[in-house]
Structure 1
Amino acid sequence: MSSFNVQEPISVANFIIDYAQKTGKSVSNLQLQKIMYFIQGAFLNEYNKELVDSSFSRWQYGPVLKEVYAIFRDNGSSPIEKLAITANIKNGVLELGDPQKTTSENLGNESVFRYLQEVTSKLLEVAPWELVEISHRQDIWYDHKDEILNHTAPDYNNDEIKKACKDNSDLWQKQ
Structure 2
Amino acid sequence: MKALDVSKYILTKCNKDGQPISNLQLQKMLYYIQYEFLTNYGKPLFDDDFEAWKFGPVIPVIYYEYSHMGAFKIGADYEGCDKILSNMTQEEINTLNQIIVDKRDINAWRLVDNTHKSGKAWDIVFKNGDGIGDTISKEQIRENAF
Conserved 8 A contact 1:33-1:64: yes
Moved more, 51-60 or 131-140: 131-140
Moved more, 19-28 or 53-62: 19-28
Conserved 8 A contact 1:34-1:131: yes
Aligned to 1:108: 88
Structure showing the higher helix proportion among its residues: 2
**TM, length-normalised to structure 2:** 0.88
* 1:18 has 2:1 as partner: no
User: Identity rate of aligned residues, in percent?
Assistant: 24
- 1:125 deviates by 2.5
For 1:38 and 1:108, locate their aligned partners in 2 and report how far apart those are by CA, in whole Å: 17
Instruction: Pick from 39, 42, 47 the counterpart of residue 45 of structure 1.
Output: 39
Aligned to 2:28: 34
- 1:68 deviates by 0.8
For 1:101 and 1:44, locate their aligned partners in 2 and report how far apart those are by CA, in whole Å: 21
Aligned to 2:144: 164
- The structure that has the greater radius of gyration is 1
For 2:21 and 2:68, locate their aligned partners in 1 and report how far apart those are by CA, in whole Å: 14
Q: How many residues align?
A: 143
Aligned to 1:146: 129
For 1:141 and 1:26, locate their aligned partners in 2 and report how far apart those are by CA, in whole Å: 26
For 1:40 and 1:59, locate their aligned partners in 2 and report how far apart those are by CA, in whole Å: 17
Conserved 8 A contact 1:10-1:100: no
For 1:99 and 1:67, locate their aligned partners in 2 and report how far apart those are by CA, in whole Å: 20
- The list of structure 1 runs, each at least 4 consecutive aligned residues, that deviate by more than 6 angstroms after superposition, is none
**What do residues 11-57 of structure 1 show as CA deviations (whole Å, max 9, x unaligned)?**
11011111111222110001100100111011111111101211001
**TM, length-normalised to structure 1:** 0.74
